[in-house]
Structure 1
Amino acid sequence: MHISVSEAKGQLTELVRRAEAGDEVVLTRHGHAAVRLVPVKPVQDRASRRALMEGVRRAAVAKARAGADAAHSQDFLYGDEGLPG
């Protein structure tokens, strides 16, 4: 549905309801599409977020490689003479 911004002013509640229901609502200005009303994605509950973050953590652990710790990282940057290698 396309509706001008000036017409939408008096119908905002109805337009929001329609957008939430899945209807495409496009506001026009001077006959050209200006903005689209779209519903906000629902926020995940705490358990869903925790499961997602746990999955990300497991993936990161699986990809991690052993390497030098921060105290010894300079060993890879400088040669025996203390100059950049």
Structure 2
Amino acid sequence: MNVPIFDAQNRLSALVSEVERGVEVIITRRGVAVAKLVPVGPTFYRDKARRAADGLRQASRGTTLGGIAIKNLVNEGRS
């Protein structure tokens, strides 16, 4: 949806409601796109991801593949 900047100033609440429903709103000035309102995506939490990776590493310590090479498993998955 394209909206001139003057209309966007007067209808901000309505435009935000549209964005909440998933509509992308392009704000234009003299017919040229200058901004885009989009729904906020999920936030990436680096610390949480790091803790999860550390937990996975710790849980896998001492685990072996019983002599099977990882390359063989990868190749088997590709067939």
- Band the TM-score falls in, shorter-chain normalisation: 0.5 to 0.7
Corresponding residue to 1:57 among 54, 59, 67: 54
Higher relative CO (CA 8 A, sep ≥ 6), structure 1 or 2?
2
The one-letter amino acid of 1:30's match is R
Q: TM-score, normalised by structure 1?
A: 0.53
Runs in 1 of length 4+ with deviation above 6 angstroms? none
Point out where structure 2 has 5 or more consecutive residues left out of the alignment: 61-79
CA distance in 2, matches of 1:34, 1:3: 10
What's the offset of the Cα at 1:54? 2.9
Point out where structure 1 has 5 or more consecutive residues left out of the alignment: 63-85
Q: Superposition RMSD on alpha carbons, in Å?
A: 2.9
**3-state SS in 2 of match to 1:22:** coil
Structure 1 residue aligned with 2:30: 30
Number of residue-to-residue matches in the alignment: 58
Greater Cα radius of gyration, structure 1 or 2: 1
The one-letter amino acid of 1:16's match is V
